[in-house]
């Protein structure tokens, strides 16, 4: 009986602790309006060749799982898949089929087209013919440009097929100084060479040869993204950090993580207990295990700082950004921020460029 009383008392104390934590969260956070990242369509570009329109094409694909082109052949679609945004919010989209980079302002208004080789160059015809093999089967035989083949026994007709073009546009990227770089590949005599085009104020100023093996001191890096496919990134020295009036660190040793804010001499300014939210408190009663973790995102110029909270049951993880003052006051909550700000969505009639914006929840 005595053991039972002790057990019930311990259970009530634990429940009270969680209730107190949830209550503290209600005081510290639940009264702050929750905002949320939502996609907003900035650019709607139809398929075409005019200003603000985008090109789409189909190339031959031997993969049997490849989709069918409008003409009915097994092909792979080529459409815009790379964009970059400069410091003013201007949006650049690589319009490869139309051999250009299109520039829009932050609201999606078309500004200009910048010429850039992408899917052009000398196309070399490869001749094919309907060929009868020795066993009577009809097959397609590849021949040289003169229409000759050692395997040919009987030929009904010959026709040219143009292999994928010799210049392939890959991606664009903008550095911290708003310099635009465009990476492309050229194929000649069975060999591929890479190039980087540098644009300043939307004008081509320089071209760099670039292959998959860069020197360590190179400002460019190629990251593999597929079979013989590379994506360009720019390697920059980290910007010098501004001196901070205070420093923020996370303590995770205890069940409830803590944010510790100190001045540059190590004196404690504030301490924030990151108690589970009311939703997590409810989930705790249903699930034996829930995730409750925190990561420091950044210290803002105004002295505030943001942390990322990840919590909830395994099948219902919720991510939230929270902004605090150095004194420990919660001033902003943003639900599920994405890892990127812009993106391209492709549809039957064209593309949409979306930007993730913050919207207050009702």
- The per-residue pLDDT for 12 is 39
- The per-residue pLDDT for 241 is 65
- What is the rounded CA–CA span in Å between residue 194 and residue 180? 17
Confidence of residue 296 (pLDDT cuts 50, 70, 90): confident
Confidence of residue 107 (pLDDT cuts 50, 70, 90): very high
- The per-residue pLDDT for 50 is 95
C-beta atoms surrounding 100 within 10 Å: 21
Domain ranges of the chain: 19-36+241-335, 38-118+168-234, 125-162
- The per-residue pLDDT for 280 is 62
Could you tell me which residue, 276 or 251, shows the higher pLDDT? 251
- The per-residue pLDDT for 205 is 96
Could you tell me which residue, 90 or 310, shows the higher pLDDT? 90
Checking if the pLDDT of 114 tops 60, the result is: yes
Checking if the pLDDT of 92 tops 60, the result is: yes
Looking at every residue in the chain, the average pLDDT score rounds to: 75
Of 50-54, 67-71, 287-291, 322-326, least confident by mean pLDDT is 67-71
**Torsion sign (Cα): 246, 247, 250, 253:** negative
Residues 6+ apart with CB under 8 A from 61: 74, 75, 76
Residue pair 294/274 in contact by the 8 Å Cβ criterion: yes
- The per-residue pLDDT for 265 is 85
Residue pair 36/361 in contact by the 8 Å Cβ criterion: yes
C-beta atoms surrounding 197 within 10 Å: 20
- The per-residue pLDDT for 30 is 60
Question: For domain 38-118+168-234, which architecture applies?
Answer: Beta Barrel (2.40)
Residue pair 184/169 in contact by the 8 Å Cβ criterion: yes
Q: Is 140 exposed, middle or buried (0-12, 13-18, 19+ CB in 10 A)?
A: exposed
Residues 6+ apart with CB under 8 A from 294: 250, 252, 257, 259, 274, 307, 308, 309, 310
Confidence of residue 303 (pLDDT cuts 50, 70, 90): confident
Could you tell me which residue, 152 or 334, shows the higher pLDDT? 334
Looking at the chain, the number of H-run helices and the number of E-run strands are 2, 25
Checking if the pLDDT of 126 tops 60, the result is: no
Checking if the pLDDT of 226 tops 90, the result is: no
- The per-residue pLDDT for 59 is 63
Mean local confidence (pLDDT), 153-161: 46
Checking if the pLDDT of 149 tops 60, the result is: no
- The per-residue pLDDT for 223 is 84
Checking if the pLDDT of 306 tops 70, the result is: yes
Residues 6+ apart with CB under 8 A from 271: 258, 259, 260, 261, 328
The pTM for the full model equals: 0.66
* Adjacent-strand bridge partners of 273: 258
User: What are 190-225's pLDDT values in tens digits?
Assistant: 677 889 999 999 999 999 888 655 555 578 888 887
* Adjacent-strand bridge partners of 246: 263
Residue % of the chain over a pLDDT of 70: 62
Give the C-alpha distances (Å, rounded to integers) separating 241 from 40, 108, 248, 260, 319: 33, 33, 15, 20, 27
Checking if the pLDDT of 319 tops 70, the result is: yes
User: What are 31-86's pLDDT values in tens digits?
Assistant: 888 898 888 999 999 999 999 999 988 665 544 454 544 544 545 678 898 999 99
Mean local confidence (pLDDT), 20-27: 36
- The per-residue pLDDT for 155 is 46
């Amino acid at each position: 009986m005595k053991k039972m009383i002790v057990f019930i008392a311990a259970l009530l104390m634990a429940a009270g602790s969680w209730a107190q934590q949830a209550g503290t969260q209600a005081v510290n956070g639940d009264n702050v309006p929750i905002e949320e990242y939502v996609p907003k369509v900035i650019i709607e570009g139809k398929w075409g060749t005019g200003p603000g329109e985008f090109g789409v094409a189909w190339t031959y694909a031997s993969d049997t799982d490849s989709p069918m082109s409008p003409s009915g052949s097994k092909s792979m679609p080529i459409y815009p898949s790379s964009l970059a945004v400069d410091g003013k919010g201007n949006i650049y989209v690589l319009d490869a089929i139309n051999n250009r980079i299109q520039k829009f302002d932050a609201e999606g208004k078309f500004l200009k087209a910048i010429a850039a080789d992408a899917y052009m160059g000398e196309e070399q015809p490869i001749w094919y013919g309907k060929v009868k093999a020795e066993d009577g089967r009809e097959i397609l035989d590849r021949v040289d440009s003169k229409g000759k083949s050692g395997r040919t026994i009987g030929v009904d007709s010959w026709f040219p097929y143009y292999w994928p073009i010799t210049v392939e546009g890959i991606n664009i990227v903008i550095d911290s100084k708003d310099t635009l770089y465009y990476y492309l590949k050229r194929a000649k005599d069975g060999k591929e060479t890479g190039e980087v085009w540098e644009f300043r104020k939307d004008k081509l100023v320089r071209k760099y040869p670039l292959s998959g093996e860069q020197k360590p001191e190179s400002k460019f890096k190629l990251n593999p993204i597929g079979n013989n496919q590379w994506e360009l990134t720019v390697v920059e020295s980290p910007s010098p950090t501004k001196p901070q009036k205070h420093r923020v660190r996370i303590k995770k040793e205890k069940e409830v993580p803590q944010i510790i804010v100190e001045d540059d001499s190590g004196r404690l300014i504030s301490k924030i207990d990151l108690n589970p939210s009311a939703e997590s408190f409810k989930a705790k009663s249903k699930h034996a295990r829930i995730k409750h973790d925190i990561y420091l995102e950044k210290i803002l110029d105004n002295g505030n700082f943001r942390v990322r909270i990840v919590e909830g049951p395994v099948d219902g993880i919720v991510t939230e950004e929270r902004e605090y003052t150095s004194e420990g006051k919660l001033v902003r909550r943003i639900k599920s921020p994405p890892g990127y700000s812009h993106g391209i969505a492709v549809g039957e009639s064209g593309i949409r460029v979306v930007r993730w914006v913050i919207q207050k929840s009702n």
